[in-house]
Structure 1
Amino acid sequence: MTSILDSVDSRTRLVGENRLELLIFQLGTRQLFAINVFKVREVLKVPHLNQMPGAHPKISGVATIRGNSIPVIDMRQSIGFRPLGKDQRANLIVTEYNRSIQAFLVGEVVYIKNMGWDEIMEPPSTGHGNYLTAISKLEHEGEARLIEIIDVEKVLAEIVSYDIGISEDVLDGDLSSHLAGQKVLIVDDSSTARTQVRETLAQLGIECIEKKNGAQALATLKAWCDEGKNVTDEILMMITDAEMPEMDGYKLTSEVRADARMSHLYVALNTSLSGSFNEAMVEKVGCDRFVSKFQPDLLVDVVQTRMRQALETGK
């Protein structure tokens, strides 16, 4: 257990301080793009790619890496540009999202940048902005440059369809009447992730209040408290992503726990992060449960568990 907690400490130190590290790269142009280092396993030169007959057009092939066959997705093509040219310098970024491993074909990898989430802003809604979760700025090669942070979950959702069907054996019929009409606060910068949660919980008759980042969610919770409202009268629980602009889910949870008016709020961390340290991470940051993204049965189980607790305790 000590080694797991050490891993939690090392990997959550930045997020616990509302910070992140971005892996910054190019896609054959001067424009800078990024993804969170937290999801990156390794970066390497492009090996031989085996072609997959009938594969999705955005999949460039399959790479054999350390004995494992890993699908390679053309990142440039995935966000609406033409595929990366064969004569352009290319690298693979091997990532882990939602318990699966995949690699992204990118251009030159520039460097890793440590930043605060308060330096991250919402993306524009035009152009390829719908493939971004956020933007930021930094000094690069003597000039101010824009960094576009890619919504990898949206990219993956367009290649692999996520099922929102709920297994019958998961549903608790005794709770159906209690769940109908309940409200849940969902906090996520990815529109794809918010849609998955909303459409899953809608099958239970639950209404979702959506916020794009921790700062927006905290402002809503504090406003209710300032109006003299009990947050648990307003919502059954909060389901929050870990990584978001302005304020991440860890900082949001710590702010909730530090405010006596809302410290009892049930908080589930809904994230695409994987690993054996997840349960220890939940304990460390003060969440009640960990929910791995895009698992509708697990999401429903967590909500039903919270409903049973509310019925038993009246809170």
Structure 2
Amino acid sequence: MAGMLDAVDQRTKLVGENRLELLMFRLGGMQTFAINVFKVQEVVQLPRLNLMPHRHPSVSGVTHFRNRTIPVIDLSQSIGMRPIDRTQPCNLIVTEYNNTVQGFMVGDVDRIINMNWNEILPPPEGAGRQHFLTAITRINERLVEIIDVEKVLAVISPYDTSVSADVIDEQLLSQANDLEVLVVDDSSVGLAQCQSTLDFMGIKVHTATDGKKGLEKLKAWADNGEIVPQKLLMLITDAEMPEMDGYRLTREIREDPRLKDLHIVLHTSLSGSFNKAMVQKVGCDDFLSKFQPDRLAEVIQERIRDVMGRE
């Protein structure tokens, strides 16, 4: 099992090529689920858990991992299915999201598979656990459901989307009228957080749920004669999205003469150190970890000052 993730650091070459790798696993039944390998630190057999008072029902306890104590979440229970049967062999997937480390308890871990993002599709409309899916795909005629881990974590520990009063420059915002931003994210949680912060700042928000839709929206504006880099203060894009990821979206924008000067901020829950390197590789202007409303407000205001200083 440990050897399964030995080469994760070498897989960064996939990014920018609209490719990803999925870690596939089961939650006790026959259905296969997956998450992106880039968010996985390690996969181990489920260790001994210690109970934690006042914990969320989906949190099975805590365990010690690499000299730190991490919460262990029953991934099956957290998406509305029956709890994992711990009398059967279980595994722990240790992940990092938004600069926090947590473990997800699962059943059998299958394998890692390399795919193209255009093979990853939005989930169908529906009830139940579809609420916790960010995408689906098919592998050897088998349906694989990709879990929206941001949504899982937001239910267990809701994100604070408020902006601190001392962060906002009221005078600056009062001088910057009719500002517009396009936010591209397949996660409803990610979109809602950005929307809340930007609404608070009085900025008009356009949204798209994947890179392909975002690019289509940008090109449609350009086709209608709008100067997109002037229309939009910036584009804020997630990295991982079905059909077209944020890295490929950035590359497509930079290759279109009508769009190439658009200010692009990569906004993602993936590892910060990894993404700072990818910002330079694919041509983004800035990088921002998700669910930091104060930092998002600061990035917006820094951009406004830059634009106003050139006018």
Partners of 1:179 and 1:24 lie apart in 2 by 47
What TM-score does the superposition give when structure 2 sets the normalisation length?
Answer: 0.94
> Are residues 265 and 176 of structure 1, via their aligned partners in 2, closer, same or farther at CA, if it must alter by over 3 Å?
same
1:179 Cα shift? Answer: 4.2
8 Å Cα contact 2:18/2:248 also seen in 1: yes
Cα deviation code 1:111-141 (max 9, x no counterpart): 00100000001101213211011000011xx
Partners of 1:302 and 1:266 lie apart in 2 by 11
Partners of 2:175 and 2:134 lie apart in 1 by 34
Identity %: 55
Unaligned runs of 5+ in 2: 1-6
The amino acid that maps onto 2:42 is E
1:75 corresponds to: 75
Is residue 282 of structure 2 the alignment partner of residue 285 of structure 1? yes
8 Å Cα contact 1:179/1:206 also seen in 2: no
1:87 Cα shift? Answer: 2.1
1:170 Cα shift? Answer: 1.4
Partners of 2:302 and 2:113 lie apart in 1 by 39
Match of 2:224 among 223, 227, 239: 227
1:9 Cα shift? Answer: 8.7
1:206 Cα shift? Answer: 1.2
8 Å Cα contact 1:179/1:205 also seen in 2: no
1:210 corresponds to: 207
2:136 corresponds to: 135
8 Å Cα contact 2:186/2:209 also seen in 1: yes
Greater displacement, 200-209 / 170-179: 170-179
Unaligned runs of 5+ in 1: 1-6
1:295 Cα shift? Answer: 0.2
Instruction: Count residues in correspondence.
Output: 304
1:272 corresponds to: 269
The amino acid that maps onto 2:303 is R
> Are residues 180 and 32 of structure 1, via their aligned partners in 2, closer, same or farther at CA, if it must alter by over 3 Å?
farther
Greater displacement, 166-175 / 72-81: 166-175
Greater displacement, 226-235 / 246-255: 226-235
8 Å Cα contact 1:180/1:204 also seen in 2: no
Partners of 1:48 and 1:303 lie apart in 2 by 45
1:251 corresponds to: 248
1:138-177 alignment, distance < 5 Å: 138-139=139-140, 144-177=141-174
The amino acid that maps onto 1:244 is M
8 Å Cα contact 1:22/1:37 also seen in 2: yes
1:156 Cα shift? Answer: 0.2
What TM-score does the superposition give when structure 1 sets the normalisation length?
Answer: 0.93
Structure 2 SS opposite 1:270: strand
8 Å Cα contact 2:272/2:289 also seen in 1: no
